[in-house]
Structure 1
Amino acid sequence: MQAKASKLWASALSEAAPTPYWTDRPDRPAPTEPLTTATDADLAVIGGGYSGLWTALIAKERNPGTDVVLVESAMCGHAASGRNGGFCAASLTHGLANGMDRFPDEIDDLERMGRENLDAIAAAIRRYGIDCDFERTGELEVATEPHQLEWLQESHDAAVALGYRSELLTAAEVQNLVHSPTYLGGWWDRDGVAMLDPARLAWGLRRACLESGVRIYEGTPVQRISKSNGKLTMHTPHGEVRAPRVALCTSAFQGPLAKVSRHVVPVYDYALMTEPLTEEQLESIGWGRHRMGLGDASYQFHYYRLTSDNRILFGGYDAIYHFGGKIAPDLEYNEETFERLSEHFFQTFPQLDGLRFTHRWGGIIDTCGRFCAFFGSAYKGRLVYAAGYTGLGVGATRFGAEVMLDKLYGLDTERTRLRMVRSRPLPMPPEPFRSVGINLTRWSLARADAHQGRRNLWLKAMDATGLGFDS
């Protein structure tokens, strides 16, 4: 019986295109021309994901006369920004629990700034007419094991203490929202998460940048940086950009500043997208009434959501690190993980038996030892960077852009005074210790999920050194 079921789960993937669903559409914009000459600018931005796009756009909002040049090695939004799950969270700290553990003295301010940041994202989407299916639905975290109910209670209590609209739900109440035999209870953060189309957000920000006068050169990797006469020069294959200020926004990719990679771990995450559900199929799971994002409370968790045309994106669980932080196109496709996700999908929604997947893909997340963004500078403050968003960059990158611009222009702000902004996570150890530690942590998390959430000695040691992993 199990073998037959496994074949059915695998067969649902047989026609799934090995490409991100979000970018596999005809409205994808044409790339700009690469840089082929030398040019000067007031501000140079390296990287065309959310981080770089928000930095360029906000720089123009602050001072429309600022000459901004953005260079991107491929095309804006091609990596994590265009292929993620589309969960735009208010949290700046990878969740309230992680923020309370790491920054207890300023968690109230961090949460307030995060909610203000999400409001500002919504306002920018309206102001620039970005059609990205933005829906502030909140997120429902579900318990699939009895021990997780206590965790949901703790999350709910913390949210209520901060004045948030939060609901703790019984098994029956959760089933009334979304029908799955695996759900034992839930916690619904009503306001802290919005759902959106990630690629169209990136493309919309790109368009807004261009219309604001930002010069964007795609297909233009920065190979090295040099300094002279109070400016930094970004050297590219066929040109160069000279600027007194530089924002480095390369996420998990190795950029021209090696010291950033000491703190960043590129981890591969994978997702599936179904064909559109029929009205009957949507009714069978009951989800269409509220359309909130969903995630389970396991350490190795799944995240899933509905699209505007009622497909289901289903991702997460596996988080795979390759020796030496290897990043390569072939690592975006992992058939074993895709089959595991398919199996978990139909265990979650057995009533959708027969539904097929149209797309399967993977990509890298830039995680770090504290699981939320960190900031730094180089070249005596002429260059600043932000990295380590750990999957919550859809929302938090806008806040990070504000921080980088504050630092570049020497502004003393509420943001720059935060300990979160002034401190950095511990650097990751070199290989082979890095791989051993990461894989031992993954194994330990799987063990904890199988043993009522009990953390073994390795995880407790990571907690004690500030490298604990809770999500």
Structure 2
Amino acid sequence: MTTASLRDAQPSVYWTSRFPVTETEPVPDGTAADLVIVGGGFTGLWAAIQAKQDDPDADVLLLEARHVGHGASGRNGGFVSASLTHGHGHGMARWPGEFDRLVELGRRNLAEIARTVADHGIDADLRLVGKTTFALAPHHLGELAGLAALHERIGDKVTLLDAEAARADVRSPTYLGGLRIHESGGIVDPAALVAGLAGLADRLGVRRYDRSPVVAVRRDGGGIVLRTRSGSVRAGKVLIATNAFPSPLRRIRPWVLPVYDHVLVTEPLSASRWASIGWADRQGVTDNGNQFHYYRPTADGRILWGGYDAVYHFGGRVDPAYEQRDTTHELLARQFFETFPQLEGVRFTHRWGGVIDSTSRFTPIFGTAMGGRVAYAVGYTGLGVASSRFGARVALDLLRDVPSELTELAMVRRRGVPFPPEPVRWPVVALTRHQMIRADANGGRRGAWLRLLDRFGVGFDS
């Protein structure tokens, strides 16, 4: 069944396969701008838009190595979250003193995204329907009960589900319970959002150049010079938004772990197929394992199914060849039918992978370089669709060199712990991943290695 279901799956990204790929010309040699943004994903696009909204007269230039949305921004699951901290549980554990403030900032950030989409007529299928996290093991039930109490404390509308209620919501024999979060996020078509934001940036007067990878950044007198394959660009200030891809600012690289995540999308389901699984609210779904799945419906009636098997390649290599991984796609297909046996016979039409910019603390790191003329916001660890707007705002505030509500946050001022260099990094990541799998199989009990990492507030995730 698994092999047959994948037989006709295209090795391409479902989201972007529906849009013709158009690339602008590379940046001309000798170009100059007030602000140059490196990276054309969500962070770069939000930075460009907000910079022009702050100062319509500013000359803002955006450089992208391929085309906007080529990386994680165009190939993710399309989950939008109000959390800026990789989930409220992690935020409370990591920054208890400013947790309530981070919750409010996250809500404000998501509201601004929704307002931008509505005000500018961006058709991105944004639906703020919350999500459900399902328990697949007995120990997940207690964890979800604790998370429900935290959500209730901050005023979120949530429903704790027993096994019967969970299976009435989305019908799977694997569910032992769940937590329905009715607000605090939803789902979006990420490629459509990228296209909409790129169009908005164009209308605001941002100059964009594709096929312009930045290979070096250096200080030159009172400005910054960026070297691309087509020539040099001079900037007053620079914002780095390369995320999982190797940064031209080398000091960032030890903090970011490129991890490959893989995804499948089914053919459109018939009405009877949908009736067999319920899912009336069509919300996003995850499970509560250390290695978790995420899944959601699409606007045309498919199911996107991804996650679980996060893969790190030695040396932190980023290579298009890693986007197709037969063993992982076959594993995902098998797990899909274990979750929804009533969908036997459904075929997958698309299969792909993409690289996630993970950090040891699961949240972005921020900083400046070259006398404050370069700022960066990288490391969203798989939850950047919404929080990338916040990250862009932080980086712009850092470039202004004036303390703001955001730059004073401990989450912004401190960066956590870098990953060790190779050849140590690969075995450390492999050990951590093995211990996470073991904890999932051992009733959630974390061994000595994971407890040590917890003590220092570091880890590995997708």
Output the TM-score relative to the length of structure 2: 0.98
Percent identity over the alignment?
47
Does the 8 Å CA contact 2:224/2:236 hold for their aligned counterparts? Answer: yes
1:49-90 CA-to-partner distances (Å, cap 9, x unmatched) read 000000000001111111100000100101100000000111
Extract unaligned runs of 5+ from structure 1: 1-7
Structure-2 separation of matches of 1:230 and 1:134 = 42
Q: Corresponding residue for 1:370?
A: 361
Q: Corresponding residue for 1:430?
A: 421
Q: Corresponding residue for 1:228?
A: 220
Does the 8 Å CA contact 2:362/2:459 hold for their aligned counterparts? Answer: no
1:114 aligns with 2:106: yes
**Residue type at the aligned position of 2:336:** F
1:165 to 157, 166, 184: 157
Structure-1 separation of matches of 2:185 and 2:26 = 36
1:14 aligns with 2:26: no
Q: How far did 1:193 drift? A: 1.5
Within 5 Å, which residues of 2 pair with 1:442-453?
Answer: 442-453=433-444
Q: 1:117–1:303: structure 2 CA closer, same or farther, 3 Å change rule?
A: same
Within 5 Å, which residues of 2 pair with 1:19-418?
Answer: 19-25=12-18, 27-287=19-279, 289-418=280-409
1:203-262 CA-to-partner distances (Å, cap 9, x unmatched) read 111111111100000000112112223110111122322111110000011121111011
Structure-2 separation of matches of 1:122 and 1:449 = 36
**Residue type at the aligned position of 1:42:** D
**Residue type at the aligned position of 2:420:** P
Extract unaligned runs of 5+ from structure 2: none
Output the TM-score relative to the length of structure 1: 0.97
**Residue type at the aligned position of 2:5:** A
Q: 1:346–1:453: structure 2 CA closer, same or farther, 3 Å change rule?
A: same
1:338-393 CA-to-partner distances (Å, cap 9, x unmatched) read 00000000000000000000000001000011000110110011000011110011
Deviates more, 1:264-273 or 1:190-199: 190-199
Structure-1 separation of matches of 2:140 and 2:91 = 19
Does the 8 Å CA contact 1:463/1:469 hold for their aligned counterparts? Answer: no
Does the 8 Å CA contact 2:145/2:160 hold for their aligned counterparts? Answer: yes
Q: Secondary structure at the match of 1:273?
A: strand
Structure-2 separation of matches of 1:141 and 1:353 = 23
Does the 8 Å CA contact 1:460/1:468 hold for their aligned counterparts? Answer: no
Q: How far did 1:443 drift? A: 0.5
Q: Secondary structure at the match of 1:23?
A: helix
Q: How far did 1:29 drift? A: 4.9
1:10-39 CA-to-partner distances (Å, cap 9, x unmatched) read 2100000011111111x3352111112312
**Residue type at the aligned position of 2:345:** G
1:284-333 CA-to-partner distances (Å, cap 9, x unmatched) read 0001x201100000111000000001100000000000110011111111
Q: How far did 1:268 drift? A: 0.4
Does the 8 Å CA contact 2:433/2:460 hold for their aligned counterparts? Answer: no
Does the 8 Å CA contact 1:221/1:236 hold for their aligned counterparts? Answer: yes
**Residue type at the aligned position of 1:364:** V
Structure-2 separation of matches of 1:168 and 1:116 = 26
Does the 8 Å CA contact 1:43/1:245 hold for their aligned counterparts? Answer: yes
Structure-2 separation of matches of 1:61 and 1:169 = 44
Q: How far did 1:469 drift? A: 5.3
Structure-2 separation of matches of 1:235 and 1:432 = 30
Does the 8 Å CA contact 2:71/2:354 hold for their aligned counterparts? Answer: yes
Q: How far did 1:174 drift? A: 1.4
Does the 8 Å CA contact 1:92/1:114 hold for their aligned counterparts? Answer: yes
Let me know the Cα RMSD of the aligned residues: 1.0
1:395-434 CA-to-partner distances (Å, cap 9, x unmatched) read 1000001101111112321111100000002111111211
Q: How far did 1:470 drift? A: 7.6
Q: Secondary structure at the match of 1:270?
A: strand
